Structure 1
Amino acid sequence: MGSRDTRTMSDSSRNPGPPSGSAELLARHRAVLPNWVNLYYDEPIEIVSGKGNRVVDASGKSYLDFFAGILTNMIGYDVPEVREAVERQLATGIVHTSTLYLIRAQVELAEKIARLSRIPDAKVFFTNSGTEANETALLLATYARKTDQVLAMRQSYHGRSFGAVSVTSNRSWKNNSLSPLNVHFLHGADRHLAQFRGLSDADYIKACVDDLRHVLATAVSNDVAALIAEPIQGVGGFTMAPDGLFAAYKEVLDAEGVLFISDEVQTGWGRTGSAFFGIENHGVVPDMLTFAKGLGNGFAVGGVVARGELMDALHAVGLSTFGGNPISMAAANATLDYVLDHDLQANAARTGDIIIAGLREAEQRLGVVGAVRGRGLMFAIELVDPATGAPAPALAVRFLEETKKLGLLVGKGGLYGNTLRMAPPLTITEDEAREGLGILVTALETLNDEAR
């Protein structure tokens, strides 16, 4: 009966015709997509074109993009090198083959990533997303260690699947307490808590390591599979551990045989400016590293790079039907080559310094700004009630509307929903950095005046 219904669908259902207005499209969206698929803005926008580091919505309004499709359009829009690489692959007629066959571009990309990871004897497995990459890493770790016990960080986010949610520590993103894993959460990015406030980096690291040792002595039973951690917490609002914390953690973990997984889904490919992968800021080479988002510059790609003995250990047959497909591999190779050829890590450091320094200057005079943090082209602003210092999620929503009006796209997150997080394409120019900074400061000044 289902197939008969499909055959008798009206022509208008099969071909909805020209684009509808934003209000009508919003109504259609709400009718057929889940309520939990969040949309920004009181009047959500439809992005219809992009060039460089700017996009245009259906009404013709242009925006400088400081969120890059949630850090995914890493080198901007309509990049000839990426477009032409994809077009060349499309011209072969081969869009998909699967991992049952050799894929030259997949091998070439894996060779580059294995080298860049610094992981010895590394092998790479490609997936479609960061969620799937983290699931794979957790499978490898629990298989290798023969235990379901896993350590993760408070305020973390690792994806929306069953296993990834279990190692996520943010109630806003956690649908249930059921878990395939036995998870214990560590301190490391929560210096706002009273017991840590005011501590130096060294003292905070010592307190966190003491807590790790206590967890291992009290909360777990014998073997632990792994610690999974983001060098900079994405959904957590770009909170980060002080440099050296994960090196101190790894000393303890190595003594216990516990593996370390660095979730680089948001911090990879030079975005922090100071390192190509975020974990390098801690002087650590992880056992496994997961990646996704920006590598494909909008094409779906993710993966795991791990020591060869970990990757090869699984005894069951495995494959990835769509992971590492020829189209995404063409895009990812072109994107990674572009990042390296244009030294976009250095550009992230240079332009990020302009923006973060400007925001910190504004922080000193604006009561609505509770904190500014960041590294390279990952930076965030926490908004607070100027009278009480309490987190102000309503101001964050207001800030989104103000920056939209001024022609800038930004993101929102944080444990309390009061953090604006931004990660422009790595190709942003110094002039665009100053332009975006000016809009951010203007919006903050507006909110500050309104809050008086």
Structure 2
Amino acid sequence: MKDLHTRHKAVLPDWLALYYGEPIELTHGEGRYVWDARGRRYLDFFGGILTTMTAHALPEVTKAVAEQAGRIIHSSTLYLNRPMVELAERVAALSGIPDARVFFTTSGTEANDAALLLATAHRGSNQILAMRNSYHGRSFSAVGITGNRSWSPTSLSPLQTLYVHGGVRTRGPYAALSDAEFTEACVADLRDMLGQTRGVAALIAEPIQGVGGFTSPPDGLYAAFREVLEEHGALWIADEVQTGWGRTGDHFWGWQAHAQSGPPDLLTFAKGIGNGMSIGGVVGRAEVMNCLDANSISTFGGSPVTMAAGLANLTYLLEHDLQGNARRVGGLLIERLRAICATLPGVREVRGRGLMIGVELVRPGTDEAHPEAAAAVLEAAREGGLLIGKGGGHSTSVLRIAPPLTLTVAEAEEGAAILERALREV
């Protein structure tokens, strides 16, 4: 393992983060478990950053990939592609957006990139509103709209980005307000900001902030924002890269917690739909999706193999009601974690929805983030046989828990017990 780590450091950039003091190499997985190169088994509560959404080595997906690879692996979007059309039809229907069009990419970053291109071209403006504490990807334009300092390495950007309040409910200047007062204050802030701009193109927002530590506003906030945006002709882009496909349990899409104003103009997705295969995309109103007046293609977006995987995975997810499982098992898991953490002074909050749960750690007796404790719990959980993630706003002090959506009650209890030992140890 040390040899591979040495080779990794010799050829890959220093900023490419690795978990753990002694990084592990994962060699195979099955269901909700993975194994490392030493043969150690772990319960996976992070799914490759919420990407192995259904299960490791899901037979329906691996069979679809193998069969498609045996026919043709690649053609590009210059040719008709049956799996791409079939998946686009299903995504368009599920999106809730009338007369929708779908463009496939290879990642969530690229999906958000495409959405920004479409919105700015449609509106003829490079002004973008984004949420504080947000994360939207690694590309130059996506970094330019990321409100989380830990993941924004440069202030240079082709966009003029303005950040608004609302993505974090329990911190910041409005934290002490009731939900209704919080929403009212955030809407007033948005209205004031729009009154000082020249034709904003769009607001982009994660219904639940992923890298930001699984934070979210009160239900209905983005519906209230939408009313103000429409007064100014601005679009609403819902970044569903982490919240889509039923992970939150209560809804198939995160935007549906704010459904009073209807679906977003553009919706981006990625991660879980491919169950590990590289799929991203943007779906939106035809008027916006068709606005580009120059040629465009995608070499790898909509690959026959990844589309076959997406179709098989989506079919499995719907036929087995994994959204319902996320709601039931996720509800049990979050209550179990809240009971555990109620007696721990270093835990500020357990929050989340479905199988998207954050545990925020602070220095005991204060409200100060405690990234060292989060790193130590991550290590202790791995030592106990559990893989989790971490994130957060001003520092990475939030444990991120997002298992595959097929998680069983027994596995939820197993993971909670390991995490309890890790938390108490730290």
TM-score (structure 1 length as normaliser): 0.92
Following TM superposition, by how much is the alpha carbon of 1:253 offset from its aligned partner in structure 2, in angstroms?
Answer: 0.6
1:193 and 1:374 map into 2 onto residues whose CA distance is 15
1:403 and 1:102 map into 2 onto residues whose CA distance is 47
Contact 2:169–2:218 (Cα < 8 Å) also in 1: no
Choose the corresponding residue for 2:109, options 117, 120, 131: 131
2:168 and 2:303 map into 1 onto residues whose CA distance is 39
Contact 2:202–2:234 (Cα < 8 Å) also in 1: yes
SS of 1:366's equivalent in the other structure is coil
1:47 aligns with 2:26: yes
| Aligned ranges 1:84-233 → 2 under 5 Å | 84-92=63-71, 94-193=72-171, 195-218=173-196, 220-221=197-198, 223-233=199-209
Following TM superposition, by how much is the alpha carbon of 1:91 offset from its aligned partner in structure 2, in angstroms?
Answer: 1.5
Aligned match of 2:11: 32
Aligned match of 2:412: 433
2:325 and 2:300 map into 1 onto residues whose CA distance is 33
Aligned match of 1:9: none
1:240-264 Cα deviation digits (max 9, x unpaired): 1110000000010111111000000
Aligned match of 2:374: 396
SS of 2:421's equivalent in the other structure is helix
1:197 and 1:209 map into 2 onto residues whose CA distance is 15
Following TM superposition, by how much is the alpha carbon of 1:446 offset from its aligned partner in structure 2, in angstroms?
Answer: 1.6
SS of 2:325's equivalent in the other structure is helix
C-alpha RMSD of matched pairs (Å): 0.9
Following TM superposition, by how much is the alpha carbon of 1:217 offset from its aligned partner in structure 2, in angstroms?
Answer: 1.5
1:165 and 1:374 map into 2 onto residues whose CA distance is 25
1:438 and 1:363 map into 2 onto residues whose CA distance is 12
2:33 and 2:294 map into 1 onto residues whose CA distance is 46
1:134 and 1:115 map into 2 onto residues whose CA distance is 20
SS of 1:340's equivalent in the other structure is helix
- Structure 1 stretch 189-198 or stretch 325-334: which is displaced more? 189-198
Following TM superposition, by how much is the alpha carbon of 1:282 offset from its aligned partner in structure 2, in angstroms?
Answer: 1.1
Amino acid at match of 1:88: E
Aligned match of 1:317: 295
Contact 2:169–2:215 (Cα < 8 Å) also in 1: no
Residue ranges of structure 1 left out of the alignment (5+ in a row):
1-21, 448-452
1:23-68 Cα deviation digits (max 9, x unpaired): 1100000000000011111111000010111000011110000000
1:193-217 Cα deviation digits (max 9, x unpaired): 4521321110000000000011111
Contact 2:134–2:167 (Cα < 8 Å) also in 1: no
1:385 and 1:312 map into 2 onto residues whose CA distance is 51
Q: How many residues align?
A: 423
1:421 and 1:169 map into 2 onto residues whose CA distance is 19
1:346 aligns with 2:327: no
Aligned match of 1:422: 401
2:214 and 2:190 map into 1 onto residues whose CA distance is 22
Following TM superposition, by how much is the alpha carbon of 1:389 offset from its aligned partner in structure 2, in angstroms?
Answer: 3.2
SS of 1:428's equivalent in the other structure is coil
1:184 and 1:354 map into 2 onto residues whose CA distance is 38
Aligned match of 2:311: 333
Aligned match of 1:3: none
Amino acid at match of 2:332: I
1:406 aligns with 2:384: yes
SS of 1:240's equivalent in the other structure is coil
SS of 2:195's equivalent in the other structure is helix
SS of 1:401's equivalent in the other structure is helix
| Aligned ranges 1:353-364 → 2 under 5 Å | 353-364=331-342
Aligned match of 1:79: 58
Following TM superposition, by how much is the alpha carbon of 1:387 offset from its aligned partner in structure 2, in angstroms?
Answer: 3.2
Amino acid at match of 1:345: Q
1:51 and 1:179 map into 2 onto residues whose CA distance is 42
Choose the corresponding residue for 2:284, options 290, 297, 306: 306
1:194 and 1:118 map into 2 onto residues whose CA distance is 33
Contact 2:347–2:361 (Cα < 8 Å) also in 1: yes
SS of 1:395's equivalent in the other structure is helix
Choose the corresponding residue for 1:58, options 37, 41, 59: 37
Identity %: 57
1:273 aligns with 2:273: no
Choose the corresponding residue for 1:372, options 350, 360, 363: 350
| Aligned ranges 1:219-298 → 2 under 5 Å | 220-221=197-198, 223-283=199-259, 284-298=262-276
Structure 1 or 2, whichever has the larger Rg, is 1
SS of 1:298's equivalent in the other structure is coil
Aligned match of 1:14: none
Following TM superposition, by how much is the alpha carbon of 1:289 offset from its aligned partner in structure 2, in angstroms?
Answer: 0.2
Amino acid at match of 2:423: L
2:413 and 2:328 map into 1 onto residues whose CA distance is 12
Amino acid at match of 1:48: T
2:12 and 2:291 map into 1 onto residues whose CA distance is 40
Following TM superposition, by how much is the alpha carbon of 1:430 offset from its aligned partner in structure 2, in angstroms?
Answer: 1.1
Residue ranges of structure 2 left out of the alignment (5+ in a row):
none
